[in-house]
Amino acid sequence: MSISETTRAQLEELVARYPRPRSALMPMLHLMQSLDGEVTPDGIDACAELAGVSPAEATAVASFYTMYRRSPGGAHHIGVCINTLCGLLGGDAVYEALSERLGVGHDQTTPDGRFTLERIECQAACTHAPVMTVDWEFMDDVTPTSAVDVVDRLERGETVRSTRGPVIRTWRDTERSLAFPDDGLAAEGTPVDAKMLAGLSLAKERGMAAPTTAQEGR
Ligand code: FES
């Protein structure tokens, strides 16, 4: 089954945003996920054709980056960072609690299609370890109890906000934002807080500055 004319038009809109068609490949794959809930073989073929690459090259991109799914994802994607800092500070326990609550393991989706659970790598948010993401929005400093509570509230249909402000939508909604990041949502919330800037603030307080590099010294 090929893609619809509407989908093709949206893919072409993405291609038109970049100097070279192949530069649009990653947003195109995110768009296909937002529409199909995964990157399907038809989606790969359409993206490859419009990006001017071979299906094999498009498949290589879709299979290299773990944010692209080759099987259907749930309504909400729950990611738990289990890299060193998060793992040591409780990420492993958070993952175990969620796995027990949802009854699924890594990269599995609940039978009702509502949640996909995934162990994820460092999200560059170590300041707030352990970190969990819900549809790629941050939940900072989580505990097993607070993580399960987020799932409970989503399941009850309550409005849930990231600890940084934005309202949790759905995984497909986020995928669309990744394809079209100029939807006005990027500036929502508080991406940087005092804890993240603590080192910089202390350095300023003490009059510390980074040493000049050899190049700057010339
Ligand atoms: S180790 Fe978890 S965000 Fe960096």
Please indicate whether residue 122, judged by its CB atom, sits closer than 6 Å to ligand 1: yes
Instruction: Give me the amino acid identity at 50.
Output: L
pLDDT tens for the chain, residues 1 to 218: 588 999 999 999 999 999 999 999 999 999 999 999 999 999 999 999 999 999 999 999 999 999 999 999 999 999 999 999 999 999 999 999 999 999 999 999 999 999 999 999 999 999 999 999 999 999 999 999 999 999 999 999 999 999 999 999 999 999 999 999 988 887 888 878 888 899 889 999 999 988 887 766 56
Give Dmax (Cα) for the chain. Answer: 64
Exposure string of 88-113, with b = 16+ CB inside 10 Å and e = fewer, is: ebbbbbbbebbbebbebeeebbbeee
Residue with tokens 């819900």: 134
Q: Distance between CA 146 and CA 48 in Å, rounded?
A: 42
pLDDT, residue 216, reads: 65
Angle of helix 55-64 versus helix 41-51 axis, rounded to 10 = 120
Ligand 1 atom nearest to 85, measured from its CA? 1
Please indicate whether residue 51, judged by its CB atom, sits closer than 6 Å to ligand 1: no
Q: Distance between CA 105 and CA 158 in Å, rounded?
A: 24
Q: Distance between CA 95 and CA 160 in Å, rounded?
A: 19
Q: Distance between CA 144 and CA 126 in Å, rounded?
A: 17
Q: Distance between CA 75 and CA 133 in Å, rounded?
A: 14
Distance 143 CA to ligand 1 centre (A): 14
pLDDT, residue 213, reads: 77
Q: Distance between CA 175 and CA 99 in Å, rounded?
A: 24
Distance 87 CA to ligand 1 centre (A): 8
What domains, with CATH codes, occur in the chain? 5-64 (1.10.10.1590), 76-169 (3.40.30.10)
Helix (H, G, I), strand (E, B) or coil at 139: strand
pTM higher than 0.75: yes
Helices and strands of the chain, counted as H and E runs? 10, 5
> Starting from the edge strand earliest in sequence, which strands make up the sheet with 108-109, in order?
108-109, 115-120, 76-81, 132-134, 137-139
Ligand 1 atom nearest to 128, measured from its CA? 3
Among 31, 79, 66, 61, CA closest to 177: 31
